[in-house]
């Protein structure tokens, strides 16, 4: 009697929970299948990201602005021409005489050509270096775009895999719940078995709800990069992992990163600019030489005012050309102070360069070790998956034979679900660590990712055959 009194209560609770789960899952599934679009491949996402990503667009605009530093600085070394037009109405007031007025009309063409200005020359060299640094900055931004797009893509794949595994887990535990319900009705299972099975099924449904929501969030992350809705991405072949990196060890990758990392190259240029800044400040002690000249044309009043020479004509022209030399004598110790500042900034740039080299080596070393760890973890998890599958089948048979309890089956099912989920994530983590390793030595490009995608496609086609 106790058993029959509890069963209806359990049945009502299960029906209520099932209804709630169906409402939540149906809502999420409606969102997942609404407005279906073709699955996006990794090369397609990379192309769209390059066209629409806001962060990369900002970096590209920054690059286009920075490369103008070179022509801006070069302008100081080129001739400067200026044309001016003057129109004045003048008056002379002499006590005891009537006021007299006259007009001053004229045009002046001026020339200034630097012959020796050490600070302008150093500014021009700094402008060229800034343009080179801007190129490295844009290349680093492109690598960052590739990494962000790949990360979003593999996160979406991991979410899709987790969703599929969660559905399989729900199906497995629902079957176990049905077996427990039949055993309880026949009197071969206790209420404890039934409650344990129900708790496992409820937990599996919760995992499925979380997995469904996670898929939507990962699609939203891709949408932020490519600027259009994404409802599916191409799957990655299950046996395709990170490519081999050869026999080179962590020290090789660290040394290469210290030389070739984009951050290191930019800091090397920053140090060179700082050194030229010191040299530019020294121009405060040096003379400057320029060729100057002008041509004037106007009425007599204008020419007389420009030349202090009476022409005796209504209109005339005048001109002059020469060499102008400026020699600094004393500037209140301003140059000395600026040089001390420039030397301090040079030391700062040298420290920043050393920090960039150490950071690049650390990033490369960490990526290398993380890749090695992921590869080893994948091999271990594949073995663990086979063991978990065997364990679940054995416990299911043992439960039917009465030599295993319900908790054994539920534990084995949970272990298999966790192992499969960890294996899927480890595969994608290994690929990302491979990409980060290549990025640490400035060798990540679209071709690398396209090769990964093509390897996955070829493997899938071979499996289908």
Neighbours of 267 (CB within 10 A): 24
Look at residue 435 and tell me if it is in a domain.
Answer: yes
Which strands form 100-116's sheet, in the order they lie side by side?
A: 80-92, 100-116, 288-299, 315-326
Q: Which CATH number do you get for residue 48?
A: 1.20.1600.10
Domain that holds residue 24: 2-67+117-286+328-464
Q: What is the pLDDT of residues 156-168, one digit of tens each?
A: 999 999 999 899 8
Q: What is the pLDDT of residues 117-147, one digit of tens each?
A: 999 999 999 999 999 999 999 999 999 999 9
Q: What is the pLDDT of residues 159-199, one digit of tens each?
A: 999 999 899 889 888 888 888 888 888 877 788 878 888 88
Q: What is the pLDDT of residues 57-110, one digit of tens each?
A: 999 999 999 999 999 999 999 999 999 998 888 777 778 777 777 778 889 999
Rg (CA), the chain: 39
DSSP-based three-state secondary structure for 103: strand
Instruction: Check: CB of residue 37 under 8 Å from CB of residue 223.
Output: no
Q: What are phi and psi of 324, to 5 degrees?
A: -110, 125
User: pLDDT-based confidence at 309, cuts 50/70/90?
Assistant: low
Look at residue 93 and tell me if it is in a domain.
Answer: no
DSSP 322: E
Q: Of 370, 416, 363, which is closest to residue 173 (Cα–Cα)?
A: 416
Q: What is the pLDDT of residue 24?
A: 46
What is d(CA 383, CA 377) in angstroms, rounded to the nearest whole number?
Answer: 10
For the cut 80, the answer to whether the pLDDT of residue 458 exceeds it is no
* Token code pair at residue 394: 């054995």
What is d(CA 351, CA 363) in angstroms, rounded to the nearest whole number?
Answer: 18
User: Alpha helices, DSSP H only, in 235-333?
Assistant: 250-260, 262-281, 300-307
Q: What is the pLDDT of residues 364-423, one digit of tens each?
A: 999 999 999 999 999 999 999 999 999 989 988 887 777 777 788 888 888 988 898 899
The strand pair at 80-92 and 315-326 is best described as: unpaired
Look at residue 341 and tell me if it is in a domain.
Answer: yes
**Count of the separate structural domains present in the chain:** 1
Q: What is the pLDDT of residues 14-51, one digit of tens each?
A: 544 454 454 444 444 544 444 455 778 889 999 999 99
Look at residue 301 and tell me if it is in a domain.
Answer: no
Cα–chain center distance at 446:
14
Look at residue 303 and tell me if it is in a domain.
Answer: no
Look at residue 31 and tell me if it is in a domain.
Answer: yes
Look at residue 77 and tell me if it is in a domain.
Answer: no
Q: What are phi and psi of 115, to 5 degrees?
A: -105, -45
Buried b / exposed e over 36-46, threshold 16 CB at 10 Å, is eeeebbbeebb
Look at residue 398 and tell me if it is in a domain.
Answer: yes
Vertex 453 angle, CA 448 and 459, to 5°: 125
């Amino acid at each position: 009697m106790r058993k029959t009194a509890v069963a209806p209560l359990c049945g009502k609770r299960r029906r209520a929970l099932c209804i709630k789960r169906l409402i939540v899952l149906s809502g999420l599934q409606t969102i997942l299948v609404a407005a279906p679009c073709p699955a996006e491949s990794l090369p397609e996402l990379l192309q769209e990201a390059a066209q629409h990503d806001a962060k990369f667009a900002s970096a590209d605009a920054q690059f286009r602005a920075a490369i103008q530093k070179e022509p801006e600085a070069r302008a100081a070394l080129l001739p400067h021409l200026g044309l001016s037009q003057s129109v004045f109405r003048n008056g002379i007031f002499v006590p005891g005489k009537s006021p007299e007025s006259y007009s001053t009309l004229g045009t002046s063409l001026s020339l200034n050509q630097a012959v020796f200005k050490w600070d302008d020359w150093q500014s021009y060299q700094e402008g060229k270096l800034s343009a080179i640094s801007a190129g490295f900055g844009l290349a680093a931004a492109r690598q960052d775009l590739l990494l962000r797009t790949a990360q979003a893509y593999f996160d979406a794949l991991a979410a899709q895999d987790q969703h599929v595994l969660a559905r399989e887990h729900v199906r497995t535990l629902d079957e176990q719940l049905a077996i427990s319900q039949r055993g309880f009705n026949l009197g071969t299972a206790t209420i404890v078995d039934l409650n344990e099975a129900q708790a496992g099924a409820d937990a599996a449904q919760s995992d499925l709800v979380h997995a469904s929501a996670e898929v939507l969030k990962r699609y939203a992350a891709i949408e932020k990069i490519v600027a259009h809705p994404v409802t599916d991405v191409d799957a990655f072949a299950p046996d395709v992992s990170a490519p081999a990196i050869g026999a080179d060890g962590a020290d090789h990758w660290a040394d290469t990163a210290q030389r070739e990392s984009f951050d290191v190259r930019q800091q090397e240029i920053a140090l060179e600019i700082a050194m030229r800044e010191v040299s530019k400040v020294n121009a405060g002690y040096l003379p400057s030489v320029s060729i100057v000249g002008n041509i004037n044309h106007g009425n007599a009043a204008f020419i007389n005012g420009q030349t202090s020479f009476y022409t005796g004509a209504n209109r005339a022209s005048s001109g002059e050309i020469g060499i102008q030399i400026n020699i600094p004598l004393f500037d209140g110790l301003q140059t000395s102070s600026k040089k001390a500042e420039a030397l301090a900034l040079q030391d700062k740039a040298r420290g920043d360069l050393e920090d960039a080299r150490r950071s690049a080596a650390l990033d490369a070393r960490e990526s290398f070790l993380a890749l090695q760890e992921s590869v080893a973890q994948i091999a271990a998890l594949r073995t663990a998956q086979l063991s978990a599958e065997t364990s679940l089948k054995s416990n299911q048979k043992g439960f039917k034979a009465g030599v295993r309890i319900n908790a054994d089956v539920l534990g084995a099912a949970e272990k298999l679900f966790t192992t499969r989920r960890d294996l899927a994530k480890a595969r994608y983590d290994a690929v990302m660590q491979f990409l980060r390793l290549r990025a640490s030595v400035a060798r990540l490009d679209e071709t690398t990712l396209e090769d990964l995608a093509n390897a996955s496609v070829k493997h899938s086609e071979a499996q289908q055959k």
